[in-house]
Amino acid sequence: MTATNNIAFSPERMAEVQAIIKRYPEGRQKSAILPILHMAQHDFGGWLSQDVMDHVADLLDIKPIEVYEVATFYTMFHLRPVGKKVLEVCRTGPCMLVGSDNIVQYLEKKLEIKDGDTTPDGMFTIKTVECLGACGYAPMMQVGEKYHEFLTPEKLDRLLDEFRKDA
Ligand code: FES
């Protein structure tokens, strides 16, 4: 098994990783990078440290910079530790036109953190992101695998309470 700085997928996960890599022709293993980065983020603490990205580069037999380029491009990858609930608020034009700025400001004030930061209790991270393809339901945010749409301060209050109960 390949390991970088003590970072290594479990044997079961490695079998999944290898199966994904095998879907692509010889020399094109880089095409497996997105699903493997998702697995890495899931398995190694919810974010991608440099060591984790280097491990993915080893597995795919590519340069670390090729992994950094992808991980820094897509906002679904976190490059520093995040809270249990990452509030990914869309900030692109259509959401901005109907008040996404106000939504971010409301969250920042309520949680007493800035965009990109995590609450001291490790519960919430605010992260502004680009269009999530739900422009017709703006303003909106993604939390985990769920979309929350037509956001208002009242709706945010309810959601934050629910997230705290969930955790
Ligand atoms: S602009 Fe916000 S979901 Fe598309």
Test site for ligand 1: of 135, 137, 147, 148, most ligand atoms within 8 A of the Cβ:
135
Same domain, 24 and 59: yes
Whole-number Å distance, alpha carbon 162 to ligand 1 midpoint, is: 24
Comparing CA positions, the residue from 80, 66, 74, 79 lying closest to residue 132 is 74
Same domain, 67 and 111: no
The average pLDDT across 9-25 equals 96
- Identify the residue whose tokens are 């996960």: 13
Average pLDDT, the chain: 95
Tokens in use for 71? Answer: 């991980």
Asked if residue 2 is part of any domain, the answer here is no
pLDDT of residue 2: 52
Q: Which of 73, 103, 127 is the last residue of a domain?
A: 73
Query: CATH no. for residue 94?
Result: 3.40.30.10
Same domain, 66 and 126: no
**Per-residue pLDDT tens for 108-118?**
999 999 999 99
Same domain, 111 and 150: yes
Q: Which of 51, 73, 95 is the last residue of a domain?
A: 73
**Per-residue pLDDT tens for 50-66?**
999 999 999 999 999 99
Q: Which of 37, 52, 73 is the last residue of a domain?
A: 73
Asked if residue 153 is part of any domain, the answer here is yes
Q: Does the CB atom of residue 37 touch ligand 1 within 6 A?
A: no
Same domain, 95 and 156: yes
pLDDT of residue 123: 97
Whole-number Å distance, alpha carbon 117 to ligand 1 midpoint, is: 22
| Beta carbons within 8 Å of 43's beta carbon, 6+ residues apart | 9, 10, 13
Same domain, 145 and 100: yes
Asked if residue 20 is part of any domain, the answer here is yes
Same domain, 145 and 104: yes
pLDDT band with cut points at 50, 70 and 90 for residue 167: confident
Is pLDDT above 70 for 12?
A: yes
Asked if residue 105 is part of any domain, the answer here is yes
Which ranges in the chain belong to alpha helices (H)? Answer: 11-21, 33-43, 50-60, 64-73, 93-97, 100-111, 153-166
The average pLDDT across 132-141 equals 97
The average pLDDT across 99-103 equals 97
Same domain, 23 and 52: yes
pLDDT of residue 1: 45
Same domain, 89 and 162: yes
**How far from chain centre, in Å, is Cα 152?**
23
**Per-residue pLDDT tens for 86-96?**
999 999 999 99
Domain count, the chain: 2
Contact 69, 37 (CB under 8 A): no
Whole-number Å distance, alpha carbon 94 to ligand 1 midpoint, is: 6
SS3 77: coil
Q: Does the predicted model carry a pTM greater than 0.75?
A: yes
| Residue numbers of the domain that contains 43 | 11-73
Asked if residue 117 is part of any domain, the answer here is yes
Comparing CA positions, the residue from 147, 146, 103, 153 lying closest to residue 126 is 103
Which atom of ligand 1 lies nearest, measured to the CA of 90?
A: 2
The average pLDDT across 152-167 equals 96
